[in-house]
Amino acid sequence: MEEAPPPPIDQESVNDGRALVEREQRQGDVISPSRAVLTLSKSMFNAGCFSLPYAWKLGGLWVSFFMSFVICGFNWYGNHILVRSSQHLARKSERSALDYGHFAKKVCDYSDLRLLRNNSKAVMYIVNVTILFYQLGMCSVAILFISDNMVNLIGDHLGSTRQEQMLVAATISLVLVAITNMFTEMRVVSFFALVSAVFFMLGLLVIMQYTVRQPNKWAELPAYSDFTGTIMMIGMCMYAFEGQTMILPIENKLEHPEYFLARFGVLPTTMLVCGAFMTALGFYGYTGFGDAIAPAITTNVPKEGLYSTVNVFLMLQTLLGHSVALYVVFDMFFNGFRRKFTNRFPNCPKMLVDKGFRFFWVLVTYFMAIGIPHLEIMIPLVGVTSGTLCGLVYPPLFEMITFWTDWKGLLTYRQRMAKIVWNCFVIAIGLFTIVAGVYSNFVAIFQSFENPDVPQAA
């Protein structure tokens, strides 16, 4: 059996002072670069993608087209500097890997500011709560997506009103997602991602071929919309790149972590493929159906013949994708929970602790889904808050703190100021998006309670 080629030398890591110790090949529950690309792509190719045509309707055709590339670029940048900073601190602290919360703690622990060092645990808790809300939001969207498509197929058998139908469908979904979340190893989760990707591609191909055969309406569609619609569109597009919180868990399980940021490595490959697919889906979906586009494009596809299988394929891929998203929560919180719980209840079986912890969080996502049963509201709300924090605010902030001392010794004053100004600009955009997005989404939520059977984001 041939040995794997040596990992590429990251010249950039040498230039910014990160090459402190040589990283060894990881052992145990690890995955290959191709499996990492597949798992990360699957975490982005999920239920949120099928709401992108609706997001383009909210933002206007050409504004949405332009913003798709901008949002992809910002997410790529945030993910890149997040991994660079994490790998640097992992080497500095002589640890093989860091999850997002412990990475935030190490950022503060190694900072020159006493205020940050004294409050490193508080920062870790803030980051963990952000990621928790983000992952739970994604999982609740998955349940909503499954329920929405189930109602589209067999809604007449589930109840007389839309609210009753969604409640019954969500309860059925709860049983199914609970089963898929009972598995623990990354290898199993990545296998789910593989199977899920197959279902996703089958469903996407059928939807795309149907969409491109529709009379194209691009000349009739508005180029832009109002401020609220644009902000909602940004939130939905940010949500579509829902893999931000899977970045570090996947990098931590990569056999050769140097392959993650390599020129044709895991992150560049994933971002290019996902960005191209998402832009194509948004453009052709919106120009194919125009103002008739639904919050999920799957409900614009006919229910008979081959097209009825599309809903089934995409429900299955979302079902498996739920376990991929919730893996982040288990990975971050389970060890600490188990340690404290077993100290207090030493006679409780370990399997009961494990499965009970998992089912509890699945149940939380179920209650979130039935609390706000509108995809067009839940998706931008999650994307514009936690998604923007994880993608545009935390990474540049943590990079500046992590490399502040290194930049003083390795960069000229002009280079250092350019990095600082750019990162502050990205943070400012993120904070503005959050404030505007929260306002727009709460307006939509209040309207949804007044008219529960009418989509409110339009």
Residue 355 lies in a domain: yes
Which helix (H) or strand (E) is 281 found in, with range?
helix 266-289
More confident position, 16 or 199: 199
Among 79, 76, 82, which Cα is nearest to 399's?
82
Q: Where residue 357 falls among pLDDT bands split at 50, 70, 90?
A: very high
Note whether residue 83 is domain-resident: yes
Where does the pLDDT of residue 121 fall: very low under 50, low under 70, confident under 90, or very high at 90 and above?
Answer: very high
Whole-angstrom distance, CA of residue 183 vs CA of residue 287: 41
Lowest mean pLDDT among 167-171, 224-228, 450-454: 450-454
DSSP 22: P
Distances (CA, A) of 242 to 44, 310, 428: 5, 22, 21
Q: At residue 48, does pLDDT exceed 90?
A: no
Residue 14 lies in a domain: no
pLDDT digits (tens, 9 = 90+) for 287-334: 999 999 988 888 888 877 777 788 788 888 888 888 877 887 887 788
Residue from 396, 361, 68, 23 nearest 238 by CA? 68
pLDDT at 271 over 70: yes
Reply yes or no on whether the pLDDT at 43 is more than 90.
no
pLDDT digits (tens, 9 = 90+) for 205-236: 888 889 999 898 888 999 999 888 888 888 88
Q: What is the dihedral of CA 423, 427, 430, 432, to 10 degrees?
A: -130
For residue 376, give its domain range. 35-450
Residue 455 reports pLDDT greater than 70 = no
Give 346's Cβ-side CA count (13 Å radius). Answer: 1
Residue 110, pLDDT > 80, answer yes
pLDDT for the residue numbered 105: 93
**Is residue 85 predicted with pLDDT exceeding 90?**
yes
Residue 376 is predicted with a pLDDT of 66
Question: Residue 180: its pLDDT value, please?
Answer: 87
How many domains in the chain? 1
pLDDT tier at 11, thresholds 50, 70, 90? very low
pLDDT of residue 89: 92
At 17, list the tokens: 């002072």
Q: What is the pLDDT of residue 27?
A: 65
Residue type, 314: L
Rounded CA-CA distance 6/324 in Å is 29
Return the H-helix or E-strand segment holding 175: helix 162-180
For helices 100-109 and 61-92, the axis angle rounded to 10 degrees is 60
Give a yes or no: residue 162 inside a domain: yes
Looking up tokens 């919106």 gives 286
In a domain, 29, yes or no: no
**pTM higher than 0.85 for the full model?**
no
pLDDT at position 450 is 65
Query: Which range among 42-46, 102-106, 399-403 shows the weakest confidence by mean pLDDT?
Result: 42-46
Q: How far apart are CA 386 and CA 131, in angstroms?
A: 7
Q: Cα(74)–Cα(41) distance, rounded to whole angstroms?
A: 17
What's the mean per-residue pLDDT of the chain? Answer: 84
**Collapsing DSSP states into helix, strand and coil, what is residue 254?**
strand
Ramachandran quadrant class, 34 (left: phi over 0; alpha: psi -120 to 50; beta: rest)? alpha
pLDDT reported for residue 330: 85
In this structure, which amino acid lies at residue 72? C
Which tokens is 24 given?
Answer: 């060894």
**Beta carbons within 10 angstroms of residue 254's beta carbon:** 21
**How many CA atoms, within 13 angstroms, populate the side-chain half-sphere of residue 174?**
18
Tokens of 450: 């007044």
Mean pLDDT to the nearest integer, 389-397: 92
User: Tell me, what amino acid is at 441?
Assistant: N
User: Which of residues 39 and 33 earns the better pLDDT score?
Assistant: 33
Q: Is 419 part of a structural domain of the chain?
A: yes
Q: Give the pLDDT of residue 192.
A: 81
- ∠ CA 211-239-422, nearest 5°, is 120
Under 8 Å between Cβ of 128 and 101: yes
313 within a domain of the structure (yes/no): yes
Provide the CATH number for the domain around residue 424: 1.20.1740.10
Q: Is residue 457 part of a domain?
A: no
Q: What is the pLDDT of residue 5?
A: 52
Please state the length of the chain. Answer: 458
- The count of other CB atoms within 10 Å of the CB of residue 276 is 12
* Residue type present at position 6: P
